[in-house]
Amino acid sequence: MFEQALVSVENLAFVSALRNSTLMYPVVNAGHILGVSLLVGGIVPLDLRLIGFWRTYPVMVFVDVLRITAAVGLALAVICGALLFATAAPDYARSPLFQAKIALVLLGVLNALTLGRVMTRRDIRSLPMESPMPLDLRAGGLLSLVVWISVLILGRLLGYF
């Protein structure tokens, strides 16, 4: 039943056109990579600031700007990733690497939402400038770093296995 649904997705007219297009497939792939770049390029400095780097710069400069660029990047990566997935849906769905990647994307999103709530609850805007972040924020930042870099590596490995 699920397998059948995936085969139907793969056989949709616009998905078949995308799979066979020598122009559109690379464009969507580039869109995915642009999304990944914005996401990882924003999340890495933000997480490092939470962990304890660059403490002479206000944390909110990182949070206010980089979480927007990271969220836009994630949205782009998810949209273009879903299109890439559709072109070979049953094969990707069967791949343990792909399953692990999606599970980690969900964990990363959950962690980011939790971090956002903890930042609000702890009112980090009012923390003294150079003080270290509370332990839960440092741990969340470290988890975020590990999760998103793992997603990136799994995504790249998918092309080889």
Q: How far apart are CA 147 and CA 104, in angstroms?
A: 6
Which tokens go with 2? Answer: 């699920």
Stretch that binds ligand HEM, among 27-35, 45-53, 62-70, 136-144 (CB under 6 A): 27-35
Which tokens go with 61? Answer: 């400069």
Identity of the residue, 10 or 133, whose beta carbon is nearer to ligand HEM in the bound complex? 10
Stretch that binds ligand HEM, among 8-16, 123-131, 133-141, 146-154 (CB under 6 A): 146-154
Rule CB under 6 A: choose which of 44, 100, 109, 152 binds ligand HEM. 152
Identity of the residue, 84 or 119, whose beta carbon is nearer to ligand HEM in the bound complex? 84
Residues 38-97 that bind ligand HEM (CB under 6 A): 39-40, 77-78, 81-82, 84-85, 92
Identity of the residue, 81 or 140, whose beta carbon is nearer to ligand HEM in the bound complex? 81
Whole-number CA gyration radius for the chain: 18
Q: How far apart are CA 91 and CA 73, in angstroms?
A: 25
Query: What sign for the dihedral angle of Cα 75, 76, 77, 78?
Result: positive
